Every structure is written in C-alpha cells, then in structure tokens.
C-alpha cells in the first residue's frame, strides 16, 4: 500500500496538469465569436466609407477648410484598419484573453476618440471663400460643390455612426473579457516551468599559487612557486514537478 501511494500521487499530478492545459486551450465562449464577427463587419463597412470619403474630399472642387475632416478621416481609418486585421486573426487564432483585453482598450479608446473628432470636423461651408476679403470679389463656386458637399456629409455621418457603434462593441468585449479574466483568477495560478529530466554535472577547479621568498644562497632572489590544485565535482538531478 505504501508503494502504491507515490504512483497515485504521480497519476493525480499528471491529471491536474492535463486539466490545466485543456482549460487554458479551451475555445472562448460563443458570444465572443459573435461579437468578433460583428466588429469585423462593422470595421469593413466603416473602412470602405472612410476611404471613399477621403478620396472625395481630396479631389472634389471644395473651396472651404477641409483639412480637419481629412485628418479625422485618416485617424479613424487607421484604427478601423487595425480592427479589421485583428478581427480576422482573432477569428482564426485563439488569442490569450489578456492580450484581447489590451487590444480592446486600445481600439475602443482610439476609435471613440477619433469619432468625436470626425463629428467635430463635420463639413460646413466648403463652397465659400474661407478667408473673405472686403472689396475683392470671390469667384463663383463650382456648380458641383454643393452636391459633393452633401455626399461628404452623408458619408461622414454614416462613418461616424458606425464608428461609434464599433467603439461600443469593443467596450462590450472589454467588459465581458475583463469579467472572464477576473473570474479565472490567473494571478493565483503557479507558474510552471518544465525542464527536461536528467542530470547536470558541475566541476569546479581551484588552483592556488603560493610564493616563497628567495633564500640566502639564491643571488637573484628568485621566488619559487608551489601550486596546489583542488578539483571537485557534483551531480544535480533534475526531475519534473510531481515526480
């Protein structure tokens, strides 16, 4: 009975190790996948609208100050592009939940921040002289300026709305993943370091040099050196935890 006890403990340790490995590699809940698919769809549509909006602003015959809208469009587009890439990778690869939480924080804050900037830079008076000067007549705006302004307003409004929804989805993912991370109590899990079984041989060699003063019969006063060498060795066994 005493001989079988270590075997039982060994099998129990192996069972716990297999259980921990399987729990860490378990797929995320189904609603995480659904929300990730939603972020991918919203990101693709929003990115397409932002690209179209940026092209129109650069090439349409506007006379007003369009730089703020262009900058907000590019800034939001960068974060949405990262969202598209990360959503695709996250659907194919089971990322650690802590990494997902970090990405959710970055994308949620970045997207919402640029959405507010885009709303603040909403197109207005792009067909008039931005710097009117008294006594100097300003040429009539292009006939298509008003039409293109309306198109940009529609694209900007839809892109800002979808971007706001996308930011809220990332906030939802952040809350759900944070709750799951706290419930997992990852900080209480011991850090397991697996080393291959075997032995490590250590050999230490110490060499001591002893000097003696010159004798009276030695005219040169040369010193005689006597050396002593100590050699020691030790073997350290390495076994897996639980063995």
- What digits encode the pLDDT tens for the residues 139-193? 666 678 888 889 999 999 999 999 999 999 999 999 999 988 888 776 666 544 4
Q: Is 114 found in the same domain as 226?
A: no
Q: Locate tokens 């990730």: which residue?
A: 36
Q: Is 181 found in the same domain as 211?
A: no
Q: Is 125 found in the same domain as 203?
A: no
| 35 domain-assigned | yes
Q: Is 218 found in the same domain as 154?
A: no
The mean predicted confidence, pLDDT, of the chain is 75
Q: Is 57 found in the same domain as 177?
A: yes
C-alpha–C-alpha distance, residues 199 and 149, integer Å: 76
| 243 domain-assigned | no
| 135 domain-assigned | no
The reported pLDDT for the residue numbered 234 is: 56
The two tokens of residue 74 are 């590019």
Neighbours of 181 (CB within 10 A): 16
| 27 domain-assigned | yes
Which stretch of 126-140, 169-183, 193-207 has the lowest confidence by average pLDDT? 193-207
| 138 domain-assigned | no
What is the domain extent for residue 18? 6-129+143-188
Q: Is 215 found in the same domain as 125?
A: no
Backbone angles phi and psi of 227, in degrees to 5: -115, 145
> How large is the average pLDDT for residues 215-219?
49
Q: Is 50 found in the same domain as 163?
A: yes
Q: Which residues of 167-178 are buried (b: 16+ CB within 10 A; e: fewer)?
A: bebbbbbbebbb
| 26 domain-assigned | yes
Number of structural domains in the chain: 2
**Per this entry, what is the length of the chain?**
243
Q: Which stretches of the chain are assigned E, i.e. beta strand?
A: 198-212, 224-238
Q: Is 214 found in the same domain as 161?
A: no
Q: Is 173 found in the same domain as 83?
A: yes
The two tokens of residue 203 are 């050999």
Over residues 21-68, the pLDDT tens digits come to: 434 444 457 888 899 999 999 999 999 999 999 999 998 888 777 889
The reported pLDDT for the residue numbered 42 is: 96
Q: Is 98 found in the same domain as 153?
A: yes
Q: Is 38 found in the same domain as 62?
A: yes
| 57 domain-assigned | yes
The reported pLDDT for the residue numbered 60 is: 85
Q: Is 37 found in the same domain as 150?
A: yes
| 1 domain-assigned | no
For the chain, how are helix, strand and coil distributed in percent, rounded to 5?
60, 10, 30
């Amino acid at each position: 009975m005493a001989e079988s006890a270590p075997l039982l403990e060994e099998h129990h340790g192996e069972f716990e190790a297999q259980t921990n490995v399987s729990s860490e590699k378990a797929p995320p809940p189904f609603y995480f996948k659904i929300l990730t698919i939603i972020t991918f769809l919203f990101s693709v549509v929003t990115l397409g609208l932002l690209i179209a909006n940026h092209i129109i602003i650069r090439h349409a015959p506007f006379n007003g100050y369009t730089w703020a809208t262009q900058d907000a469009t590019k800034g939001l587009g960068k974060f949405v592009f990262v969202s598209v890439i990360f959503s695709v990778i996250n659907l194919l690869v089971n990322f650690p939940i802590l990494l997902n939480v970090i990405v959710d924080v970055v994308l949620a804050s970045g997207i919402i921040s640029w959405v507010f900037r885009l709303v603040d830079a909403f197109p207005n008076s792009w067909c008039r002289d931005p710097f009117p000067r008294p006594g100097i007549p300003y040429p009539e705006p292009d006939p298509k300026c008003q039409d293109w302004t309306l198109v940009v307003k529609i694209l900007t409004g839809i892109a800002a709305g979808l971007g706001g929804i996308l930011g809220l989805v990332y906030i939802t993912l952040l809350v759900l993943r944070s709750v799951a991370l706290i419930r997992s109590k990852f900080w209480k899990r011991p850090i397991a370091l697996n080393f291959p079984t075997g032995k490590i041989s250590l050999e230490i060699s110490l060499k001591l040099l002893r000097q003696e003063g010159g004798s009276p019969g030695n005219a040169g006063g040369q010193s005689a050196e006597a050396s002593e060498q100590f050699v020691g060795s030790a073997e350290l066994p390495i076994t897996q935890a639980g063995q």
